[in-house]
Structure 1
Amino acid sequence: MVSVWFITGASNGLGLSLALYVLKSGHNVIAAMRNPTRSAEAAKSIEAAGGKIFQLDVTRPQDEIFKAIETAEAIYGRIDILVNNAGYSALGPAETFSEREIIRQFQTNVFGPIYLTQAALPGMRSRRSGTIVNLSSVAGQDGLPTCSLYAASKFSLEGFSEALSREISEFGISTLIIEPGAFRTNFLHAMEVDENSIPEVYQGTAVDQVLNKFKAAAGNQIGDPLKAAERMFEVIMGEGQGGSLKGKILRLVLGKDAYSRITAKIKKQQSDLEVAREVTFSTDL
C-alpha cells in the first residue's frame, strides 16, 4: 500500500535525504519547507521525483499549524506518517542566551512538532493507523557544553514523545524517536552561535573547546545521511535491514558516535541510581 508522508525541514539534510528516498521507494511525499524559493534546488529535486512542495514555517501559532495540516491532508486525502524533522541548534553559554533565542529554539524544536502532532492525530485516530516520527538528537540524551538550549529542546521533545507513545498506541498509532549522531549534512554549518557572543571569561573553557570542535567537524562528520534515510524508512515501514525493529523500539539511535555517547550516559545514570539508593529509599513513609 502506498503511504503518504508529511516531512518538515525537507529543504536539506536528513529531511531532504528521507524525502527523496521515500519517493524512490514508491510512496507519496508532502515536503514542507519554510522558504521553497530560497530552497529552490531542493524543491526542484523533490518535485522531479514526484513529491509535493508545501510551504510551512513550524514556528507559526497553533491555529495556523492546524489549518496548514488540513490543507496538506487534502492533497492526498490523509497523512499516514508525520516526520517532525525541522530543527536547528542555538549554541553558547547557558547564561547568555537572549529571550528571543530561547523562544525561537523552543518554537522550532518543540512547539512546532507538538502542534503538528496534535493536528495530524485526529485523522490517524479515525483510521486507527499512523506513525509519528520525531527527530531528536544524541543531544536529546546527552547534553554537551554550549548545547544547553538545544539539549533542553530535544529532552523536551523526547519527553513529549515518550508520553505520547503511551497515549496513542491503543489507537493503532505508533511513535518513533530518532536520535542521530553527527551526519554529513549542513547542520553544523547552520548552527547559530549566541547573538551575545562568547564572553571573555569562557575563552579556553569547555564551552570554547566544544565550539571549536564543532567548527572543525563541519563537513567531516562520519555519518552518511543517505544511509540514515534508508534505515529510518526501513524501521518505519518494516522493510529491509531495519524492518524487524518496527513496533519494537521507541528510540532509534543512528551512528556509532551517538551509540557511544548514549551508552556512557546510561551507565552514569545507572551508577547514580545505585550510589544514591540508600538515600533514595530513605524518603518513604
Structure 2
Amino acid sequence: MSQIWFITGASSGFGLDLALLALDAGHKVIGTVRSTSKASDAVSAIKSKGAEVVELDVTKADTIADVVEKANAFYGGIDILVNNAGYSLLGAVEDMKDEEAQLQMETNFFGPLRLIRGFLPTLRSRSSTGTTIVNVSSIAAQSPYPSCGLYSASKYALEGLSEALAQEIAPFNITTLIVEPGAFRTNFLSAVQKTETPLSEPYRGGPVEHLLGMFDSAQGKQRGDPGKAVKRVFEVVTGTGEAGGLKGKVLRLPLGPDCVGRIEGAMKKLQSDWDETREVAMGTDFD
C-alpha cells in the first residue's frame, strides 16, 4: 500500500537515502531541506523520482504551521512523519555557550516537537489504515560519550517525549518508533559543530579531547552501511521485508553492532546501580 512520507533533513544522509528508498518502493514523499539551492543535487535526485520538496528550518517556530499546511495540501495529508533533521554539538559541557546549547535543543528536540504537534491532527484523521511517527535519535541518548553532552541531552529528551507520546497516541492507531543509529558512513561527522570556545585547559589530554580526536579520525571509516540502516527503518514502518515483523511491536529500533554493544553496556550499568541502591530507595516512605 502506497503511503505518504514527510521526511525532514532530506538533503543528505539517512533522510535522503530513506526518501529515495520510499520513492523507489512506490510511496509518495515530501522531503524538507533548509535550502533548495544549497542542496540542489539532493533536491534533483528526489524530485526526479516524483517527490515534493519544501524548505524548512526546524528552528524557526513561526514557519511550522505554514509548512504543515503546505505539506497537507500536496496529497491531502501524510501517513508517516520522520523527524530526521539534526546535528551534533561537540565539546566540553563547561565550554558550551547558552546560544549553542539552545540551538542544539531547538534543532534536535523542539523542532520535532513542533512538527509532531502540527501533524498530529492529520495523522489522527488518517489513522484508520495506521499512521506512524518516526523520531531519529542516536545511541548517544542511551550511552553518552564525553564531548557529546548537549547532543546526548537533546536526543535523550526526544526519547523521553517519544515514550510518553507513544502511550498517548496509541488509542488513535498511531505508532511511534524511536530509531537509535550507531556510527554509519554518512556526512554526520563532517557536519558536526564544535564549541566556539576552544577546549579549555582542564580538559586537554583527558576524555573530552580523546573523543574529539576519535570523531575527527572516524569520518569516512564508519562500519555502518546507511543503505542497510534505512532499509531496516522502512521495513519496520511498512511491515514488509526482513524486519517487517517488528512493526507495532517495538518502540526502539537500534541499528548497528556498535549500538547494540553500547546499549547492552548501559543496561548492565543501570542494573548495577539498581542492585546497589535498591535497599536505600525502598526505605524512603513514612514510617
Shared fold (TM-score, shorter chain, > 0.5): yes
Q: 1:64 deviation in Å?
A: 2.1
Instruction: Give percent identity, aligned residues only.
Output: 51
Aligned to 2:194: 193
Aligned to 2:226: 225
The alignment status of 1:152 with 2:153, answered yes or no, reads: yes
Runs of 4+ deviating beyond 4 Å: none
Aligned to 1:91: 90
Q: Which moved more, 1:126-135 or 1:104-113?
A: 126-135
CA distance in 2, matches of 1:202, 1:142: 20
Letter in 2 for 1:56: L
Give matches, 1:64-75, under 5 Å.
Answer: 64-75=63-74
Aligned to 2:33: 33
**Alignment check: 8 A CA contact 2:30 2:53 kept:** yes
CA distance in 2, matches of 1:64, 1:31: 16
Letter in 1 for 2:34: R
**Alignment check: 8 A CA contact 2:54 2:67 kept:** no
TM-score relative to the length of structure 2: 0.98
Tell me, which stretches of 5 or more residues in structure 1 are unaligned? none
**Alignment check: 8 A CA contact 2:72 2:78 kept:** yes
Give matches, 1:164-183, under 5 Å.
Answer: 164-183=165-184
CA distance in 1, matches of 2:170, 2:69: 23
Give matches, 1:1-285, under 5 Å.
Answer: 1-61=1-61, 63-128=62-127, 129-285=130-286
CA distance in 1, matches of 2:124, 2:52: 24
Tell me, which stretches of 5 or more residues in structure 2 are unaligned? none
**Alignment check: 8 A CA contact 2:79 2:126 kept:** no
SS of 2:107 mapped into structure 1: helix
CA distance in 2, matches of 1:160, 1:66: 20
Letter in 2 for 1:31: G
What is the Cα-based RMSD across aligned positions, in Å? 0.8
Q: Which moved more, 1:121-130 or 1:90-99?
A: 121-130
TM-score relative to the length of structure 1: 0.98
Q: 1:2 deviation in Å?
A: 1.2
CA distance in 1, matches of 2:46, 2:168: 34
The count of residues paired between Structure 1 and Structure 2 equals 284
CA distance in 1, matches of 2:103, 2:217: 26
SS of 1:175 mapped into structure 2: strand
